[in-house]
A and B are shown apart, each in its own frame.
Chain A
């Protein structure tokens, strides 16, 4: 940054990247979030290797063992065991896999459908736009969790159905965002230029316009990723998401809820896992927004 004062020219893209990295890296918390998240991802990938026990194996004689540092705890079950004698640490490590995959799939589904509908709505206008937008308004009129619950009631409980239901409730925000950016971009000269040059509607939509709408979409995607993890856990907690014995974090809290007072660790640690994972993603999302949104930059 200091050396650049004497440089007269370097490529625009590398400057953009450097600028982005500057905003990202000065934010220590965002870097911490990134590092933590990488840790969680590695944990999820290597779950089978690093977890000390199988997540489903029941050590009946060791039920409700407290964490290692508490009285009566054992190093063997570092975070204690649940009512059936399953190792909490192993269950939480395996749960990371489910939560991350759920988050990814929800974002991919809602973003791809949302972006497509948003592009079409912004690009076509007219009655197509009206219909799409009114459908989105309808979805948004119902609180997200309630909508997801109702959808799961129709589809049947289960992790996959929960993901589909949550993805549907997230779609409107992507549609609105894409439509708004598309409409702004549509009026710009470069779009007119490429129209004049004979670009077809597909090319205009995906090659000319879409890349210029990416910044807010990336931010929205990150934020949706974190809320998707929360909502998947909430549905799991209500018994409408992942079903036991799957070690999904929300399900873990639900199945140990009766032990909440006698063995609080069985409820505490899965919750901390959710909180930290979501917080790490939000830290990054926040910083991404600062870095990608020119309005928020320091002048």
Chain B
């Protein structure tokens, strides 16, 4: 049985202008040791789906799903207390902004030992050695000296390492990393990714990597989910997807990568992700799609073979593009 099983997850927010569908019928299945990347532009609902899984959405959100289970337990029916026993222990999540995600009022030791005390019992002080071990594991030099440091004394990269230490403290079966490198310097980004993959392999945990960076996807993931305006437009293994994108949006994303640039200009996708007020009637990507036909503008797209499109791109048997080219 799969570790994580999500079917048709929908998240709606109540706003001043009526309800906003941030996540629309998203499904995801994960086994232990899987690395799945979720990619898409900002506002495509990548993080929201995972926050819904964690139960971290504000009260304005309404969550509906046919199925949402983890490790055989149904997340939809369990109460808040049961969910809290899983959150932070078996499922944990790393956020985009390490600088603001740590509480400025507490030391590094306090914040890491707190999660240990929460799930394994004991006083915070009794976990001191474990905290040092964790800090060492995430590559913080001289961890003993960092125990009493406050977040404002740490750099962004260091903060993210502390954050990772905190979230792998209970050896989770599933780690969700929500754009873990976006706010960091380019040189640090690779280190953090490497660290995540290392930890994933050492503990054979499942890793969900939310990102908008295709290069990151190609380097790390086994499987890719492409999300557009809250919908999953394509979900396939990474090599297949890179070699032969079936959804025009995926194709457009890939061809926007510098490696694919022909001549001196980068290929950009025209237009922007539709907002709450200008949602198209038909396929959500139709206004920006260069292959769009009349049907696309009038009818929502059907899903077939993991692709949400009226006219999926043909299966290409002679793949020209090699994944290596991207990485």
Are A and B bound to each other?
yes
* CB-contact partner of A4 in B13, B14, B18, B60, under 8 A: B18
* B278 in contact (CB, < 8 A): yes
Q: Is the CB–CB distance between A1 and B18 below 8 Å?
A: yes
What is the CA–CA distance of A298 and B14 in the complex, to the nearest angstrom? 9
Chain A, 264-299, contact with B by CB distance < 8 Å: what is the 0/1 string?
000000000000000000000000000000000111
> Which interface residue of B14, B16, B278 has the most chain A CB atoms within 10 A?
B16
Closest to A26 in B: B16
Chain B, 6-31, contact with A by CB distance < 8 Å: what is the 0/1 string?
00000001111110000000000000
Q: Is the CB–CB distance between B18 and A2 below 8 Å?
A: yes
* B276 in contact (CB, < 8 A): yes
* A22 in contact (CB, < 8 A): yes
B71 to chain A, nearest CB (A): 32
B52 to chain A, nearest CB (A): 16
Q: Is the CB–CB distance between B16 and A5 below 8 Å?
A: no
* A23 in contact (CB, < 8 A): yes
B167 to chain A, nearest CB (A): 25
B238 to chain A, nearest CB (A): 33
* A19 in contact (CB, < 8 A): yes
* B202 in contact (CB, < 8 A): no
Closest to A8 in B: B278
Closest to A3 in B: B18
What is the CA–CA distance of A298 and B13 in the complex, to the nearest angstrom? 10
Q: Is the CB–CB distance between A22 and B279 below 8 Å?
A: no
Q: Is the CB–CB distance between B60 and A298 below 8 Å?
A: yes
What is the CA–CA distance of A4 and B15 in the complex, to the nearest angstrom? 12
A125 to chain B, nearest CB (A): 29
Report if A5-B60 is in contact (Cβ < 8 Å); known contacts: A22-B16, A297-B16: no
> Which interface residue of B15, B60, B277, B279 has the most chain A CB atoms within 10 A?
B277
Q: Is the CB–CB distance between A4 and B17 below 8 Å?
A: yes
Q: Which of B243-294 contact A (CB under 8 A)?
A: 276-279
What is the CA–CA distance of A30 and B13 in the complex, to the nearest angstrom? 24
What is the CA–CA distance of A231 and B13 in the complex, to the nearest angstrom? 44
What is the CA–CA distance of A299 and B15 in the complex, to the nearest angstrom? 7
Closest to A2 in B: B18
What is the CA–CA distance of A4 and B276 in the complex, to the nearest angstrom? 9
What is the CA–CA distance of A19 and B16 in the complex, to the nearest angstrom? 7
Q: Is the CB–CB distance between A7 and B16 below 8 Å?
A: no
* CB-contact partner of B15 in A7, A8, A298, under 8 A: A298
Q: Which residues does chain A contribute within 8 Å of B16, judged by CB atoms? A: 1, 19, 22-23, 297-298
What is the CA–CA distance of A2 and B14 in the complex, to the nearest angstrom? 12
What is the CA–CA distance of A291 and B16 in the complex, to the nearest angstrom? 11
Q: Which residues does chain B contribute within 8 Å of A19, judged by CB atoms? A: 16
B47 to chain A, nearest CB (A): 14
Q: Is the CB–CB distance between A5 and B18 below 8 Å?
A: yes
* CB-contact partner of A7 in B13, B14, B60, B277, under 8 A: B277
What is the CA–CA distance of A1 and B279 in the complex, to the nearest angstrom? 15
A197 to chain B, nearest CB (A): 31
Q: Which residues does chain A contribute within 8 Å of B276, judged by CB atoms? A: 5
What is the CA–CA distance of A299 and B61 in the complex, to the nearest angstrom? 11
Q: Is the CB–CB distance between B15 and A5 below 8 Å?
A: no
What is the CA–CA distance of A7 and B279 in the complex, to the nearest angstrom? 9
Q: Which residues does chain A contribute within 8 Å of B13, judged by CB atoms? A: 299
What is the CA–CA distance of A7 and B18 in the complex, to the nearest angstrom? 13
Q: Which residues does chain B contribute within 8 Å of A7, judged by CB atoms? A: 277
Q: Which residues does chain B contribute within 8 Å of A297, judged by CB atoms? A: 16
Q: Which residues does chain B contribute within 8 Å of A1, judged by CB atoms? A: 16-18
Chain A, 35-78, contact with B by CB distance < 8 Å: what is the 0/1 string?
00000000000000000000000000000000000000000000
Q: Which of A1-42 contact B (CB under 8 A)?
A: 1-2, 4-5, 7-8, 19, 22-23
What is the CA–CA distance of A93 and B16 in the complex, to the nearest angstrom? 39
Q: Which residues does chain B contribute within 8 Å of A22, judged by CB atoms? A: 16
Q: Which of A253-271 contact B (CB under 8 A)?
A: none
A41 to chain B, nearest CB (A): 29
Chain B, 142-157, contact with A by CB distance < 8 Å: what is the 0/1 string?
0000000000000000
Identify 16 new A-B residue pairs, CB closer than 8 A, beyond the known A298-B15, A298-B60, A299-B13.
A2-B18, A4-B17, A4-B18, A4-B277, A5-B17, A5-B276, A5-B277, A8-B277, A8-B278, A19-B16, A22-B16, A23-B16, A297-B16, A298-B14, A298-B16, A299-B15
| 16 interchain pairs, CB-CB under 8 A | A1-B16, A1-B17, A1-B18, A4-B18, A4-B277, A5-B18, A5-B276, A5-B277, A7-B277, A8-B277, A8-B278, A22-B16, A23-B16, A297-B16, A298-B14, A298-B60
